[in-house]
Structure 1
C-alpha cells in the first residue's frame, strides 16, 4: 500500500520546538509526491549568554531528540531529516557518525543530518577546499564546526558566530545582517560560503547570494533536504534555492 500524498517518500522532519525556520523552508523545497511530517524536540527557549550556556542548551536539544524520533515514527516515515545542526558537528567526523548511528538505531530508518549533508553538498559541487561560514552559535560551537570540516579536508579561513541570545532570536537575525557578514568574510581565498544553524533563515537568500558572488553559498537546511531527496533517487529540480536543488 502506498501513501496517497507521500507516494514517493514520507520524511519525518525533526527540529527544536523553538525553531520556526526549518518547517517552512523545507516545505518550500518539497516536490510533489514527497510529504514532510514535522516533529518538535521539546525544549525551553533558553538564554544563551556564553559558550557554557550555549553548550548546555544544545545538550538539552540532544536529550529530547529520541522522544521526538519515537513520536514521528508513529506515522511510519521512510526517512528522517534532522533539522538541528549544532549537535551533528560535535566530536568531528566520528562524533557525527556515532550520533547518526544512535538515531537510526532508535528509528529503524535512515537519517540525514546537517553536518554530513554539508560534506556531500561540497563534494557534489566540487572544487571546494577553503570555506567561510556563519552561524547563530557561540564561538565554542563554531570551533566544533571547524574541526568537523577539517576532518573532511576543508579548511575554514573565516567564520562568524552571531551569538544569538535565545533560540527564538536566531530566527530574528535579518537578511541585512547576514549579507553584511557574508561581505566581510568573502574574498578570493574563499571557495564557498556556508551557513549553519537551522533556525537562521537563509535558504532563499543563499540562492540569491550565489548569483551575486558567483560562488557556492550553501544553506544547511537546503543541503540537508537536498541530500535526503537525492539519496532516495528523487532528482526533481527546485528553483530559488541555489545550484544544489536547481542543478545537482
Structure 2
C-alpha cells in the first residue's frame, strides 16, 4: 500500500536536534506527494566553541547518529536525506563515500548526503573548476571540506570559516553577514561559490546572490534536497531556490 500523503515518496530527514534551518528550508522545497519526516540527532548546544571543541562536537554528532537512523527506519522511508554536513566531508572523497555506505546500510535505503550533493550540483551547472566556500565551521573542519572538493576534482581558491560560537549561533547568522562573506569570497578566479553547514540558512539567499555575483552560488540544503528529488525521478520545478530546482 502507498502512504496517503507521501504517495510519491516518503523521505526521512536527519539533522542535529539543535538545527533550526534544515526542517523549514526543506519543507519549503517539498513538492506535492512527497513527505519529509524529521528525525533528530540528539546533541547539546555547546558555547564558546574553539577549533578543538568544534571537532569534538562533530564527533559527538557522529556518535549519536545511529540512534537517529534507527528511529528513521520505523517510518519505513523510501529514501534518506541527510541534513548534517560536517561529518560527511571527513576523510575526503573516500571517507565521504564510506559515510554514505554506513547510513544507507543502517536504514536500508539510498541516501542523499551534503558532500556528494554539493559535488553533483557543481557538476550539473557545468564548466566549474575553481570554487570558494563559506561554512559556520572552524579551520580544521574547513580543511576536511577543502580536501573533499579537491578529491572530487575542484580547485579550492579560498574559504571562510565563520567560527560560530555555538550550534544555535549558526542559525542566527544574518543574510547581511552572509552577503558580506560572499563578496569576500568572490573574484575573477572563482567559478562558483558553495555554502556548507546545514544550519546556516542560505537556501533563499543563494539564488539572489547568483544574480548580483553573476555565477553559481550553491546552498547545501538546496543541493541535498535537489539531489534527493532527482534520485527519485521527481523533476517538478520548485520556485524560489534557484536554477537547481527549476532547470536541472
Category of TM-score, reference length = shorter chain: over 0.9
Q: How does 1:44-193 map to 2 (within 5 A)?
A: 44-47=44-47, 49-193=49-193
1:66 is paired with a residue whose SS is helix
Map of 2:237 onto structure 1: 237
* Structure 2 CA distance for aligned equivalents of residues 10 and 144 of structure 1: 31
Work out the CA distance in 1 between the residues paired with 2:16 and 2:219.
Answer: 18
Alpha-carbon distance in 2 for matches of 1:209, 1:194: 11
SS at match of 2:199: coil
Aligned counterparts of 1:232 and 1:213: Cα–Cα separation in 2: 32
Q: What's the CA shift string for 1:10-59, capped at 9, x where partnerless?
A: 00000000000000000000000000000010000023522111000000
**Aligned-pair CA distance for 1:70:** 0.8
Moved runs in structure 1, 4+ residues, more than 3 A?
none
Find the aligned partners of 1:62 and 1:48 in 2 and give their Cα distance. 21
Gaps of 5+ in 2: none
Secondary structure of 1:80's partner? strand
Compute the displacement of 1:106 (Å): 1.1
TM-score of the two chains, using structure 2 as the length reference: 0.99
Q: Report the counterpart of residue 222 of structure 2 in structure 1.
A: 222
Instruction: Note the residue ranges of structure 1 that are not aligned, 5 or more in a row.
Output: none
Q: Secondary structure at the match of 2:74?
A: helix
**Matched residue SS, 1:10:** strand
TM-score by length of 1: 0.99
1:168-224 alpha-carbon deviations (Å, 9 max, x no partner): 000011100000010111011110010000000100100111122121000000000
Decide whether the 8 Å contact of 2:72 with 2:107 is kept in 1.
no
For the 8 Å contact 1:132–1:190, the answer to whether it is kept is yes
Shift of the 48–95 alpha-carbon distance from structure 1 to 2, 3 Å rule, reads farther
Computed over aligned residues only, the root mean square deviation of the Cα atoms, in angstroms, reads 0.7
8 Å contact kept, 1:48–1:54: no
Partner of 2:27: 27
